Amino acid sequence: MVKLPPKPVHKPSPTAIETAAQPAPAPTPATEEVPPLPAAASAAPVTTATPAATPVPVTSARFDADYLNNPAPSYPQLSRRMREEGKVVLRVVVAADGAPRHIEISQGSGSERLDKAARSAVERWRFVPARQGDRAIEAAVLVPIIFKLEGN
């Protein structure tokens, strides 16, 4: 039996979500230098103030929305026979369209078979993309997958 973490009621657990993995936009300077006037008109450079950009809040990508219908990974038969269990944490870069763009193992289970099964399942998942204001953006999310045999 493969267990996915419980679905949160309002917002995902902070341990399951990673903040958007995008480089911060380059800060705009508060003043920008204007070329000096000819020597007869002014002896010092002139600066003008530019308005500071207001940061737009970012909401994290999600994998746990009920309507996404993301199936649990299948438990590899050999892992069942060998009684292998473990937790795999995948770091998934989610594209703005909700598709997984890049998946890497952030924390392995100790079993290559379980790690591959988790990765293979998540490759077919859909996600709620992160948003910056009302615009969908690419971001990363941590997805924990627990492989636990019944009776243990």
pLDDT of residue 68: 82
The pair of structure tokens assigned to 148 is 């636990």
Collapsed DSSP state (helix, strand, coil) of residue 29: coil
The model's pTM: 0.62
The pair of structure tokens assigned to 120 is 């293979």
pLDDT tens-digit map of 70-120:
999 999 999 999 999 999 999 999 999 999 999 999 999 999 999 999 999
Q: Left, alpha or beta for 149 (phi > 0: left; psi -120 to 50: alpha)?
A: beta
Residue 102 lies in a domain: yes
CATH of the domain at 139: 3.30.2420.10
Residue 30 lies in a domain: no
Q: Give the chain's domain count.
A: 1
Residue 77 lies in a domain: yes
What is the domain extent for residue 96? Answer: 2-20+58-147
Residue 12 lies in a domain: yes
Residue 72 lies in a domain: yes
Residue 46 lies in a domain: no
Residue 71 lies in a domain: yes
As beta bridge partners, residue 31 has 49
